Amino acid sequence: MRISLRSVDWIYLHLITVIVVCGFGIVGSVDNNKKRYEAATGSDHRPSALRADVPSTRSRRRSTSKGLSRSQLLELLLNTAKTGDQDVKNTPPNYNSDTATDIEVMLYVDSIDSINEANMDFTLSVLLHLQWKDSRLVSFNIGPSFGNLTFLEFDSQSIQRIWVPDIFFPNEKRASFHDVMMANQMMRLYRDGLILYISRLSMTLSCPMNLRYYPFDKQSCSVQIMSFGYAEDKLNLKWMNSTNSDAVVVNDIVELPQFEVTGSEPNRCRKKYHQSVHSCLQANFFLARNIGYYVVQMYIPSILIVMLSWISFWLTVNSVPGRISLGVLTVLTMTTQSSGVNASLPRVSYTKAIDVWMSTCLVFVFAALLEFAIVNVLSRKETLSGFTIRNVFSIPRDFEKGDQLKEQSSPLDGGPRRESFSTKRQGKRGIVYAMYLDVASRIGFPVAFLLFIMVYWLYYINVE
């Protein structure tokens, strides 16, 4: 049986039609199953250009009401501002107008690391908050694109595309930004054009100190903030939340070894550079020195050294080696201690409170040594009649005649004295007067020193 050519063509055509229809059915079934899977899991593996048309459950949470994601909205804002007639990267918002751009500043002190009296500076770590309004980024037709977003975060790369105030610190010696593990900077853009910029940095700032009452002193150190390139008519600095004390905040856990932070105060200042007045802010920090370290390390040891010199008054008049050794030792010890105290302080031209204390202690110790010299002279005189300063520098007649005087030595325990020469000349009345002077010194020195201690501490503790 023969089949015509026309019949064969019709058979092939029907077969091709059936294969095409079956292929479309299989593809449609796969797409339906994929859509049901994506709806259940919230995932979408299509390209971003296609996903923007029909956002998934997870992407809808990251997008605005206009269907733009945060990154897309950020890129749209930056590109729109870049194509405008103003330079949003290099100039302040009101650069082309006659009004100044207001920059609100807040300072959060995270830690105060050290306070150095010798260099008269202090080191601290702060979070610097800057807030200003830049309407160039959010124009009238871009604002609605925020949708339900309150603010939009900037990454570290996008921050470099936005103008940031050229803030510097006039009293700064050294400063550095923190960049572990990335640059510690944050920027937020609100829907009305308000920008909040936060940066973390460490600074070493100069702090002129008045050390007249050291170590009872109270110091005031400051952080000055000012614009470097713009005058007051172009950029105006003011404290954020200036109605209360929240403009300058110190961390509650800040603890210093020698100082205590008693308070902080936001203040204003005006500086003139190159015939232009710049807006300036100043944050003052009030510090009170802790006296405990100095009481243990300086005051108590010096009191003990002065009391040690009084032992000389209780030795016998003829205990020459012991009394000289004790007096010289205490004088050298006080001199060494005074030098050690001033080694960590700057060489100022005025007298400090610690200088008054150390000098007075040295005077008491030296007076004890001088008292022994007077006692020794009195013990060698039979009577005080005719005793003048001239007699101190005169040579006794016994030496002029070639006679030898008796040399006496008495042990510290008050035992019998040994005489090395046969000639005996005892000045009994002179020894009595010398003993009276020792007895008077046993009472007079402690009373005078106790009176000095009371006057010294009452004055410097109550002084402001």
Compare 124 and 380 and report the one with higher pLDDT.
Answer: 124
Helix (H, G, I), strand (E, B) or coil at 296: helix
- In angstroms and rounded to an integer, the radius of gyration of the C-alpha atoms of the chain is 45
403 pLDDT more than 50: no
Q: How confident is the model at residue 94 (pLDDT cuts 50, 70, 90)?
A: confident
Q: How confident is the model at residue 138 (pLDDT cuts 50, 70, 90)?
A: confident
Residue among 16, 52, 48, 45 nearest 31 (CA): 45
CB atoms within 10 A of CB 264: 18
Angle between helix 300-309 and 320-343 (nearest 10): 160
Give the separation between CA 31 and CA 36, rounded to whole angstroms. Answer: 9
Give the separation between CA 327 and CA 359, rounded to whole angstroms. Answer: 16
Residues 357-367 have a mean pLDDT of 95
Give per-residue pLDDT as tens, 375-389. Answer: 888 887 655 555 555
Compare 204 and 23 and report the one with higher pLDDT.
Answer: 204
Show Cβ contacts of residue 170 under 8 Å, excluding neighbours closer than 6 positions: 224, 226, 271, 280
373 pLDDT more than 70: yes
With contact defined as beta carbons under 8 Å apart, do 287 and 116 qualify?
no
With contact defined as beta carbons under 8 Å apart, do 203 and 272 qualify?
no
Q: Per the structure block, which two tokens stand in for 445?
A: 């020195």
Beta strands in 290-374 (DSSP E): none
Give per-residue pLDDT as tens, 423-451. Answer: 344 446 778 888 888 899 999 999 999 99
Which among 2-16, 356-370, 371-385 has the top mean pLDDT?
A: 356-370
Q: Per the structure block, which two tokens stand in for 278?
A: 């710049």
Please, what is the average pLDDT of the chain?
78
Show Cβ contacts of residue 314 under 8 Å, excluding neighbours closer than 6 positions: 438, 442
Entry pTM = 0.70
243 pLDDT more than 60: yes
66 pLDDT more than 60: no
Instruction: Name the burial class of residue 189, with classes exposed (0-12), middle (13-18) and buried (19+) by CB atoms within 10 angstroms of its CB.
Output: buried
Q: What is the pLDDT of residue 445?
A: 95
